[in-house]
Structure 1
């Protein structure tokens, strides 16, 4: 659609401002080709306005919904993965890691430093296992046990209802 035709449609529809409307009116008066095109568009617009808009029947929606309901439901695509492929890929990586570890162990020398000279421990459990620590430990265990019993009994009660 060229610009003059678009301008003529806007003029017919009344979508132009005052300056543009005056310019189009001037073109229609002075140019015979524009005047002929304007008259054709007016006739076309009149024909469109005389046409009656077709409406679908009252049962259109029902008919469409029934035809959709008759269509088979799409099934989900279920693919079966061949487990041999998964196991072969997994075994390849396991063998590669084992080969790499074997190469590392074969080419390394295992010498352990003497830690006995430098490391002495004087570890006494009597400093850490005090009566207070034991009471805290036992109290914590009792609380955890009560929470578990509450959960267990509530589950049993809900299964019965």
Structure 2
């Protein structure tokens, strides 16, 4: 006899429904003879089966099968993405970023041009505030900064082009 046989409710339901093989059926019957608690569980299952058999069967309304099949075919159809507008957002923000970089790059790369003579304000109207200052011209006029700005613009443009081509390829592949 198999001592590792575990009698579960699922096996008892299969036994009650007659789904077990003859070998499994013999194991269940032997276990039921040895363990009265398992027999009580089987009796409870058989009682439930009898009570299920007394329930009246519901007849589905006409057209129910057609409704189910229609719903199933609708689920099988590929759904078009509702967020098509979202796919175009990256183009807008990418172009806006590149335009901003193009707008500010000439100001950052322009050499220090002499400004016109500023208008003098009388000393009594000028508050005595000391503002810390930093000489940005040294940083912005360096060849390294100019090179990095141009490389950044080139990489942003290439990234934008790559994203555009990916989306275009996905739309033409369908």
TM bucket (normalised to shorter chain) is: 0.3 to 0.5
TM-score normalised by the chain length of structure 1:
0.40
Q: Compare CA radii of gyration and give the structure with the larger one.
A: 1
Higher RCO (Cα < 8 Å, 6 or more apart): 2
